[in-house]
Structure formats: C-alpha cells, structure tokens
Structure 1
Amino acid sequence: MPPHTSAAAGSGCPVTGAAAGGGPAALYGPGLDGDMMPALYEQLRAAHGPVAPVAIAPGVDAWLVIGHRELLQLTREEQDFSHDPRRWTLLREGRVPADSPLLPMVGWRPALLFTDGQQHRRMRTAVADALAGINGHELRRSVRDTAEHLIASFAARGTADLVAHYARLLPMQVITQLLGVDTQTGRALVEAIAGTVSATADAAEASKRMAGILLRLIDEKRRDPGNDITSALLHHPARLTDEEVLHNLVVMFVAGNQTTVNWIATSLRILLCDPAFRSSLTGGHLSVDDALDLVLWRFPPTQNFPARYATRDMTFGGQPVRAGDMLILGLAAANADPKILPPDGQPVVGNRSHLAFSAGPHTCPAQDPARLITRTAIDTILHRLSDLELAVPESELEWVKSPWSRGLAALPVRFTTPQPRTPVTQPTDPPPRRAATPHASRPTT
C-alpha cells in the first residue's frame, strides 16, 4: 500500500510484525537503536525487497530504499526524485502537524540539501569552494592540537568515555573554528543543532536558537570577514543571501559534526574490540584510510537520511510509488545489500563505493575534511594512549536511540600513563583511489 494512503502508520506495530508484511515498519520510538537496526533492515529486505514501507512518525509513512542499486538510482535521477519537500503529499495536504518534530529536519530550507538543478548547482559551488579553501595542513594541526588538549584533560584519571570526552568534543571544536565561531558560541550552536535533529517536542525551539546564533555570526562576518567558511560563503560570486548562507551552514554543521562524531567513536570501538583489525592497522597491513572505509561500509555514521520525493507515479523497487511520496535513503542497509558484497562474507577493503556519504549530485561535499579530522583524531589517540582498552564488556556498550544516526552513547576505556607527545611530520594526504572490486581477505569487523 502506498505510504500516503496507509492507515497502519499510527498503530505502533512491532518492528518484527511490520517487517514480516503486517504493515509499515515503525522507524520511531524508544526501542530503536543502532545495534538492532541491521536486523530490521534484513527483515524488511526479505519481506519487501529493495524498497520497503515504513512509518517515520505516527501517521507519517514513507518508503525506505535499502537496495544498493535502487539507492544509486534514487540519488542520481533528479527528474524522478526531487529534494524539494514542498512536493511531499502529506505536507501539502496538511497531514503533517505544524508542530511535528520531523519538520525541523525535513521542512524546506533555502539550502543545497533541499534544491534541484540549477539552484542546487549554484549553492553547491559556493559550499564546495568554501570547503576547498580549507588548508589541509592547518586543519590537521588544529585537529591534533585539539585532540592533545582533550587527552590531557582526562589523562591523569586513567579512564575516560571516548564519546563524551573525545569524539563528541573534537569535531565540534574544530568545525566551529572553521566557521569562525568562538568556543562558547560553538557549544551553544552544537546543543541547538542537536535539539533540532532530535525529532522531539523541543526541536522547534532548538531550531529557533540555532537560527539566532547563526544570524548573529553572519551579521558579524558580513561586517568583518575573516579566513573562515562563513566569510567565504558570504563573499562568494554565487551571491548567496544571508538566509541561504544561514541554512547552508546548518546543513554543513549537522552533516560535518554528528557524522564525524560517530565515525571517530565507531572506529575506536572496532579497534578496541577486534584484535585482528587492530593488529593489521598497527602492523601496517591495513592503512588508516582502509580502516576508516571498512567502518563506512559496515557502520556508516548516518544510517538513514531524509529524503527524496517522487515527481511522478512509478513502480520502483517493485513498489507502487506515487507522485509526492517520501523516500528515505537507507544508507546502512544499502551498504549491506547482499547483491554487492563479497559472497564469502569477507569485508570490503580498498573500495570507496559505499554509500555512507550518499551518491550522485548531492554526495556530501564535506567528506574530505571529515576524513582528515577522523584520521588525525584516531592517529593521535592511538599514539598517546598505546595501551587503550575497553573498560566494560563489548556487550554492555549502548547505542544512541535514533533511526537516523548510528552512534555509540558511550565508549568507556582505561589506560596507563600516556606516551609523551612527539613532533609529527605532516604527511601528504593520499590521492583519491578508484573504486575497486569489492573483494578482500582482511580482518573482519
């Protein structure tokens, strides 16, 4: 049954029953976390194929695209799948409450994430140029200095939560510097953005706080530009309006901050929990970039991402999709599609054809800075805390309760005296590699 006609979305049906064909699977509620979601995706795949009916809130249905080939088609064919939520049938017909916690995340904004065609290319050019202006050596130095400062704040204790004390703080401090924001304002901005994407009753108020902080920043940088991303957007030949700059900053900050937090934390979890993986990395058999890509294949930081909107009636992935239907990008599920993985169950190594950063014209433009931040953060802490180990059994680790983001709630560790800081020669970033055949014989993750 097409999403905008189903009556089952508000039933709160159990995930297992929905996945077995009893109605749309509920992608909301306190029971969903990153640990149990992979099993749901496989249930949905078995019951519905590459496109499955889901509910993202009571009474709000959508299609979840979980096939790798279908997700590529969804992201590449803008003539059939628009980014503009004003096409969404449920929204146009007033069936999404004005105070819905979904709206701060999926409501239309004048930003590259919600536009198609020429408007999207105009905004993306400005954003891509602003990001390209980042000095890689200076960014690496900033990340390393920030990482050293954070490690020093808990080194004497011999214990830490690497989510709360490291992964959650490091990207925020680095990214706010890139935006030209001071630390105190950056902390307030992070809290506001986290509230905006939380899909709770407080999302609307958090969205207002976020807008106020960014508008003040834009006004300051319009009057007194600096060497930062905000100033670069404001003074780009694309001539973005202040409103466009504001909303593109939101998109960049949300994508850059939480994604990088999850990428760092999950990479560290695997290093702590998989001895073969860690020995391959420390022994030089596996590069840090190979390790980071393994994480993106198996545990993408964003597991589901909204949204595309069908521009016409069609059969897509075997489902009767109608014009105005919402389609959710099932990034984690598409990466696990058996049709594109090695048949022997080996991990994918030396291959960046994963969909962790989406695909097509809207591929994340900030993935290179995010990779540099993540790589440097992991290099630094492994060097300084060489005997780092998990402080609890792996089975006790908890995941954030979210159908969108895949991240750990905490990563408690212990260690002895940190290694002394040594001067590090700034390496040259390796050039992008061509996508390889997804077969390998490296450690499992």
Structure 2
Amino acid sequence: MTAYQDALGAGSTPPPQCPAHSDAVPLFGPRFETAPTELYREMRRDHGPVVPVVLPAGIPAWLVIGYQEMYQVTSDSAAFPRDSGLWNQWDNLPEDWPLRPMIGERRPSIYYTVGDEHRRHLEMVQSAMENISPLELNKHCEELADRLLDGFCSRGEADIITEYAKPLPLLVLARILGFTDEESPVLSKAMSALADGGADALEGFTTFGRMMNELVAAKRAQPGPDVTSWMMAYPEPFTDEEYALDLMAITAAGHLPTSDWIGNSVRLMLTDDRFAASLTGGRRSIPEAMNEVLWEETPTQILPGRWAAWDSWLAGQHIRAGDLLLLGLAGANADPKVHVTSEGADTGLRGGNSAHFAFSHGEFQCPFQAQEIAETIVRVGIEVLLDRLPEIDLTVPPESLTRRPSAFQQGVTALPVHFSPTPPIKGTR
C-alpha cells in the first residue's frame, strides 16, 4: 500500500502523484482523525524535519515539522515571506479548489501583506485591540458563558463542543468587533466550513466576507465602542475593503482555534488524572491544562503558509523559488529535540514553559493582544463551566471521541458529558 493509500484509507483512490513529490505524504485522509501523533512520527522518521507533502488535486508543498527549522522559517521573512503572490502553483489550481480560501490569493489585509504594508495593518489592528478593557472582556466572557450554560444546565447532559466551546468564542468576538449576538451562529457556520476545507468551504468564505463588509458599512454609519469602530478611527487611511479583510483575519484566527483550545483543555481535564483536581474546584490546574494543550494538541496543527523567495536548502531538502511551505506547528511542538532533558528523560508536563509554536512565531505571529483575548476567553470559559458544573464527566469512553476531519485544525467533533442538574441563573452572576 502506498503512502497515499495508507493516508486515504483502504479502498480509496488517491489523486495523481505530483512528479516533483513522488514520495510525498498527502495532507488528508482518516489518519489525521485517528492517529495524527503516529503519523507525524512516521513523517519525521521517513523524511526528517521538512516533509514533502501533497494537497488536494495533487498540489505539492513542504511541511515544516522540525522545531529548529520552524524557528528559521518564521524568523527569516526575507527568504520565506508570507507572500502568496510568489507561489509557483497558481496556474495548477482548480477554480473550486477547497483550500483556496485558506491559502489565499494576495489581498490587502494583515494576513497577506508583507513588509511596511503588513506593519501598517498590524499597528492599526493592535491599536484598536488595546482599547479593549480587560474588565469588560472578563464580564462579556462570564455573561455569555452563563447564558450558554443556562441553556443546558438543568438537563444533566450536554455536548460541550457544540453547546459551549464552539459558540462561546464567537459570541465574545462578535461583541468586541461590533456584531450583535444574533449574528454569531451564521458566522460560526461559515467559519467552520472554511476551516474544515470541505465542499462548502467556498460558500462559507462568501458568507463570511459579506458579513464583514456589512459590519464595516454599519460602523461607518454609526460607530460604537467596538474594535471595528476603533480600527476605522485609526489616523492612517485604509479602504473599506481593507477593514473588512482585516476583520476576517481577526475573526477566523480567533474563533475556531479558541473553540478547540477550550474543547481540548476540557477533554484533557476529564481524561487525564494529572488535572483531576480542577474538577473539584482547584484552579491551579486550569492554566496548566491550557498550556499542555498548546504543546501537545495545539488547535492549529498546520498553518499556511510561507513561500520561498529564492532557491534554497532546508534540512537537506531543495526548496525551489515559489514553493509553498506549510508551518507544521503541531509537528514542531512534538519534535523530540524539545521533549527531552539533558538526561534524555521526557519532560512530562510543560508547566510554565510557553516556548511552543501554537501562536506561530516571528513577524507574522498572532498579535500579543489577540493572544491575551484568546487566553481570557478560554480561562474564564473553563472556570465558569467548572463552577457551574463541578461534577461533570464524560458519558463515553475517551477512545471513542472523534477528531475533526481536518489536517489543519485539531479538535474533537463532540464532547458528551453528564452532570448533576442545576437551575439556570439567568445572568445573575
């Protein structure tokens, strides 16, 4: 059985191999759902820290899974810029290629601009986010978490992913960006489709963009105390298209990864004895579990991308000008070189060590203010959940939990739990 067939599963027919990547690993298939850790281990064994991979429709790329190599690529924005206009595969992409929205053609936003233009967008977004009051953010998180819990706390059972972890970040982001609470379900559906890269990804991208353009128009007519209005009040001139694209980048980067951070952390605390104290009221283990997830089950497994500005060599692989390099954040975090002590023993819990790549690294890493917002949503979300439902437990064996069918995002599709029913508090916190 070939690497293609092994990744796809028995009985599946792989797409044509790319001649330049004859031994490439396909970045799709059921093993990313069932055994991603083992799959990354095999990639490292067979190819080293830079892996030839192939995307749907036979599109070749490189996956960086070495810690040192990841640091090199993300630190050298001259050799490996985030400039999709350099890509040597644009002419080979089908019009309906499902990853097109995720990879992205060159657009004037914080995510796709480079150099001085990128820094201009970054400063505008950071300036707006600095206006967010930590107290107000905590208040939003607590109020919206209570609202979600009120919807199922009296039942004695729930799916923590669909009923709590997935909607909570979107509700919070919607408020701070200037959306109404009623608009968040539509946003959530669109961004989930986009992140999973399936048949409805392009439709989700269209809906996502339309809603952001409508938000910009609404805030231009009537500004408010929200991130969108603060962005538009920044003294540097930007077009409405640029505002909308920056808002899309902020929301896409902040929603599903934060949802999976909540879900993965709760799953870890329900299944790992090291964190059992949290379920009886101990708070110390919550940040430890959150940090452990960023190392071992980081929500964003693979982040596109960087493009080679010129021919070069990386970890023995010949990278051609215009080649796409995918940032294997999960693979780099799992590099054995950063998992052992000088005596060769596994380090176990990461404690306060935050030298992971969960938020990427370098010039294009997640802005610090955005990292703080995500951390607050996750921490407060878990605290409120455990305060309200202290006897929460899984209703299914841990091994039966199913991961999202995506090589790019890591999260379980459902987390069914049971608990002692409690009455709703109806926002009286």
* TM-score above 0.5, yes or no: yes
5 Å matches for 1:41-440? 41-91=40-90, 94-108=91-105, 109-279=107-277, 286-342=284-340, 343-345=344-346, 346-365=348-367, 366-418=370-422
The structural deviation recorded for 1:361 is 1.1
Report if aligned partners of 1:265, 1:408 keep a CA contact under 8 Å in 2: yes
Structure 1 segments (4+ residues) deviating >4 Å: 280-285, 419-425
Q: CA-to-partner distance for each residue in 1:146-169, whole Å, 9 max, x for gaps?
A: 111111111111000000111011
The alignment covers a number of residue pairs equal to: 411
- Pair 1:280–1:185, CA change in 2 (3 A): closer
* Structure 1 residues 16 and 318: alpha-carbon distance in aligned structure 2, compared to 1, 3 A threshold: farther
Cα offset, 1:233, TM superposition? 1.4
The amino acid that maps onto 2:220 is: R
Query: Residue in 1 aligned with 2:12?
Result: none
Aligned identity (percent) is: 37
Aligned pair in 2 of structure 1 residues 226, 48: CA closer, same or farther (>3 Å)? same
Secondary structure of residue in 1 paired with 2:290: helix
- For structure 2, the residue ranges without an aligned partner over 5 or more in a row are 10-16
Q: Indicate conservation of the 8 Å contact 1:25/1:54, yes or no.
A: yes
Task: Report the counterpart of residue 13 of structure 2 in structure 1.
Answer: none
* Displacement after TM superposition at 1:282 (Å): 5.5
**Which amino acid in the other structure matches residue 99 of structure 1?**
D
8 Å contact from structure 2 (residues 264, 293) kept in 1: yes
| 1:86-144: CA deviation from partner (whole Å, max 9, x where unpaired) | 100011xx111122111111122221111221111100111111222111111111111
Q: Deviations over 1:206-257 (max 9, x none)?
A: 2222222111111110111111111111121232211111111111111110
Closer/same/farther in 2, CA of residues 235 and 277 from structure 1, 3 Å limit: same
Alignment partner of 1:413: what SS? Answer: strand
Secondary structure of 1:104's aligned partner: helix
Which residue matches 2:14? none
The TM-score normalised by the length of structure 1 is: 0.87
Q: Verify the 8 A CA contact 1:111 1:123 in the aligned structure 2.
A: yes
TM-score under structure 2 normalisation? 0.91
- 1:53 is paired with a residue whose SS is strand
Task: Determine the C-alpha separation between the residues in 2 that align with 1:271 and 1:289.
Answer: 11
3-state secondary structure, aligned to 1:82: coil
CA contact (8 A) 1:309 1:326 kept: yes
Question: Given that residues 32 and 403 in structure 1 are in contact (C-alpha distance below 8 angstroms), is that contact kept between their aligned partners in structure 2?
Answer: no
Distance 1:72 1:284 in 2: 35
Query: 1:161-209 CA deviation, whole Å, 9 max, x = no partner?
Result: 0001110111111111111111222222222222233322332232222
* CA distance in 1 between partners of 2:115 and 2:414 (Å): 41
Q: Would you say the 8 A contact 1:13–1:25 is kept in 2?
A: no
> Does the residue aligned with 1:54 lie in a helix, a strand or coil?
strand
Bigger shift: residues 143-152 or 271-280: 271-280
- Structure 1 residues 38-66: Cα deviation after superposition (integer angstroms, max 9, x where no partner): 11111010111110001121210100000
Unaligned runs of 5+ in 1: 1-8, 426-445
